[in-house]
Amino acid sequence: MSAAAAERWLPGDRLPDARLRDAEGAGLSLHAECAGAPLWLATPADPAAAAALPPPPAGMLALCLGTSALTAAPGWRAYTADPRWLAALGAGVLWLADANLRLQVARALPAGEPPLPGDPAPALLPAQTLAAAPVLQIPDVFERDFCAELIRHLDQDCGGGDASGVLVLENGEQRFELDPSVKLRRESFPRDAALDARMHERLLRRALPEIARVFQFQVARRDPFKLLAYPEGAGYFHAHRDNETPDVAYRRFALSVNLNSGAYEGGEFRYPEFGPHLYSPPVGSALVFSCSLLHEVRPVRRGTRYAMTTFLS
């Protein structure tokens, strides 16, 4: 997690690595030994709370954490951890983390209804993975309520946005024009500095560390955020690359966050060089991909699709 992250971790954050130790002093690396399956992390306030922890589901790794190794309920493994790391988790809580060590939801202890993972997705067949585009999907970069706030900002404060155009090079000079043979959508830069700062903070803590881990790329620059609307019958972006012209050749990765879902049909991403698969992440989730990939946003057939986009270099 970025140093810019808040002192308290939130749903959507990926846990920083930590060295945990049991009562005998044996060590465990969180990232090396606990990733790959859902995880419970509990921070009980006292031995009684540790002994009353709920039984973990079959196959769930359950870690009872404290500044000393408490005697935990059956099925739990007790460890000590760095006090600052523990403080960021919060005291007296039970967290569910996903297989990628992203925090999902917390319940105060004692947890009458402990958080449970969803049903695992079925494994893709080899023929399906062969045609999958090299796209990184990052869940929960923006919270659902924050996405709704950004949509209201675009529709109300930004007047719904302006028609999106293209830059055309003519006689050595660039000229802006509308070109429905390329794209049709509405867009606006955010007009609220506080909203812009909140988007930036979420990228720092949730997206940029994943990009560094997956692509071994340290982001040094981002383009301004754009809020986008793809309306019914008038929203699409035909197949293109994001770094083909001299003015944008510096771009390395595109990042797009879906701000809504279910209220529209169509509007999916497609990467035609890698097969027919369509990509439409849940609300608040991001797609990150190389600007060199050919991609398109399919026409919106019903409703309005909202998104946020930027480019990283």
CATH number, domain of 176, equals 2.60.120.620
Q: Confirm if 20 and 83 have CB atoms less than 8 A apart.
A: no
Q: What is the mean pLDDT of residues 46-52?
A: 92
* CA pair distance 236, 183, nearest whole angstrom: 6
In the structure, what pLDDT confidence band is assigned to residue 24 with cuts at 50, 70 and 90?
Answer: confident
- Is residue 109 within 8 A of residue 44, CB to CB? The reply is yes
pTM for this entry: 0.90
Please report the pLDDT score of residue 171 as a whole number: 66
Answer yes or no: do 52 and 133 share one domain: no
DSSP for 119-156? PPPPPPPHHHHHT----EEETTSS-HHHHHHHHHIIII
Q: How many CB atoms lie within 10 A of CB 130?
A: 10
**Regarding beta strands 236-240 and 295-297, do their DSSP bridges make them parallel or antiparallel, or are they unpaired?**
antiparallel
* pLDDT-based confidence at residue 3 (cuts at 50, 70, 90): very low
Last residue of a domain, one of 54, 73, 108: 108
Q: How many domains in the chain?
A: 2
Note the pLDDT tens digit of each residue in 265-313: 999 999 999 999 999 999 999 999 999 999 999 999 999 999 999 999 9
Q: What pLDDT does 179 receive?
A: 81
**Is position 41 within any domain?**
yes
Nearest to 270 by CA among 304, 306, 294, 291: 294
User: Does 138 reside within a domain?
Assistant: yes
Same domain, 130 and 86: no
The tokens for 289 are 């991909």
Q: 68 and 150 in one domain?
A: no
CA distance 223 to 308: 12
| pLDDT value of residue 120 | 85
Whole-number Å distance between alpha carbons of 89 and 200: 22
Q: Are residues 98 and 175 in the same domain?
A: no
Q: pLDDT averaged over the chain?
A: 92
Are 199 and 162 within 8 A, CB to CB? no
- pLDDT computed for residue 245 by the predictor: 86
- What is the predicted pLDDT for the residue at 54? 94
> What values do phi and psi take at 111, rounded to 5?
-90, 100
